[in-house]
């Protein structure tokens, strides 16, 4: 997939629309290729504050979100994730400045791109932290996700539209994708609970929705729906383990029961240490640092080890 090339030139040239990364452009520092165009009046053609430029930049952001979701989650999630993100976020360009070109070159533009939600965003989000390691300007301040942006606006060859070339947008799109996945998952989970209640003839109980995303760390997405599924898996594994333990214990004499009890207690300590938040945070390189992502990782780790222990005890029979 062309988007995977992003890792080799992240933040150097725009690959969101073209789907390719130019090693020559990255090495030479040449400006990124034009990537989008829209109708514009002559006065808009080279203005950094052109509303058409802002429209095209926003289009590129959401294209980047879609490609990130297709790469890190599943392609069929792109429509609902993008729709959820657009419903939650308002994108603006702030502090727009024109930087004069040198030796007759066209001026370049600098701005802070901001995506604003109605509520504070989680600064510990996994995808946000990954983006920030690539571009330190990507950060959260209250309800705002923001990043520095460089772009150029120029008339197209036919003189009837403008072309916008952008660099530095990929990390911002990555972070925005993480939050958008969280919002989308929350909505899917709410719909699932409503459907369950409708089938059961009852009323769906209110559910606490954690910070919209702690998705992304290498383990993939997190949100209430996935978290509930992982916790259900852990609960089922724990139930199977208790059954296997009881069955194994019933076949032993007193000395054997004592030995099995001590073995099980030691295993529980080992499992809990292996699935501790500190260990998971260290092994993820900081991608998973708290929030619902950590809850999901801990539950998934314990579920996996508990399933293996249940099979081990069952084999003792």
pLDDT tens figures, 222-270 = 445 555 567 778 888 888 888 889 999 999 999 988 999 999 999 999 9
Element housing 36 (H / E): strand 36-39
Residue 113's pLDDT is what? 96
What percent of the chain shows pLDDT beyond 90? 28
End-to-end CA distance of the chain: 49
Residue 42's pLDDT is what? 52
In sequence order, which residues have a C-beta less than 8 Å from that of residue 14 and are 6 or more positions away? Answer: 32, 33, 35, 60, 165, 166, 167, 169, 170
Mean pLDDT of 187-207: 64
pLDDT beyond 90 at 40: no
Q: How confident is the model at residue 38 (pLDDT cuts 50, 70, 90)?
A: low
Each residue's pLDDT tens digit, 269-303? 999 888 888 888 887 776 665 566 677 788 888 88
Query: Which DSSP symbol is given to 256?
Result: H
Would you say the pTM of this structure is higher than 0.75? no
pLDDT beyond 60 at 185: yes
CA distance 2 to 210: 33
Longest CA pairwise span in the chain (Å): 91
CATH 1.20.1270.180 in the chain: give the residue spans. Answer: 224-315
Cα angle value 105/58/38 (rounded, 5°): 60
CA distance 190 to 204: 9
Q: Report the chain's mean pLDDT, rounded to a whole number.
A: 75
Element housing 170 (H / E): helix 170-200
CA distance 302 to 27: 46
CATH for 224-315 is: 1.20.1270.180
């Amino acid at each position: 997939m062309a988007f995977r090339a992003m890792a080799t030139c992240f933040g150097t040239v725009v690959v969101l629309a073209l789907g390719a990364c130019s090693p020559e452009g990255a090495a030479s520092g040449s400006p990124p290729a034009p990537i989008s165009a829209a109708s514009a009046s002559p006065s808009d053609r080279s203005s950094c504050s052109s509303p058409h430029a802002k429209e095209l930049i926003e289009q590129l952001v959401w294209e980047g979100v879609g490609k990130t979701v297709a790469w890190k989650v599943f392609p069929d999630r792109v429509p609902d994730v993008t729709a959820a993100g657009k419903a939650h976020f308002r994108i603006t360009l702030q502090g727009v400045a024109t930087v004069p070109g040198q030796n007759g070159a066209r001026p370049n533009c600098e701005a802070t791109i901001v995506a604003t939600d109605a509520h504070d965003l989680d600064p510990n989000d996994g995808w946000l932290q990954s983006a920030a390691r690539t571009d330190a300007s990507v950060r959260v301040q209250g309800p705002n996700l923001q990043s520095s942006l460089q772009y150029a606006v120029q008339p197209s060859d036919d003189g009837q539209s403008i072309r916008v070339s952008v660099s530095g947008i990929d990390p911002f799109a990555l972070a925005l994708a993480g939050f958008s996945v969280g919002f989308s998952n929350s909505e899917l989970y709410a719909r699932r609970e409503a459907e369950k209640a409708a089938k059961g003839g009852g009323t769906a109980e209110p559910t606490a929705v954690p910070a919209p995303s702690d998705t992304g760390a290498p383990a993939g997405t997190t949100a209430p729906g996935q978290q509930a599924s992982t916790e259900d898996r852990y609960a089922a594994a724990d139930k199977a383990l208790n059954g296997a333990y009881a069955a194994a214990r019933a076949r032993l004499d007193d000395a054997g029961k004592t030995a099995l009890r001590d073995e099980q207690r030691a295993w529980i300590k080992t499992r809990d240490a292996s699935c501790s938040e500190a260990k998971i945070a260290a092994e993820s390189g900081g991608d998973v640092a708290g929030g619902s992502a950590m809850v999901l990782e801990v539950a998934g780790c314990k579920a996996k080890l508990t399933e293996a222990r249940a099979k081990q005890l069952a084999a003792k029979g």
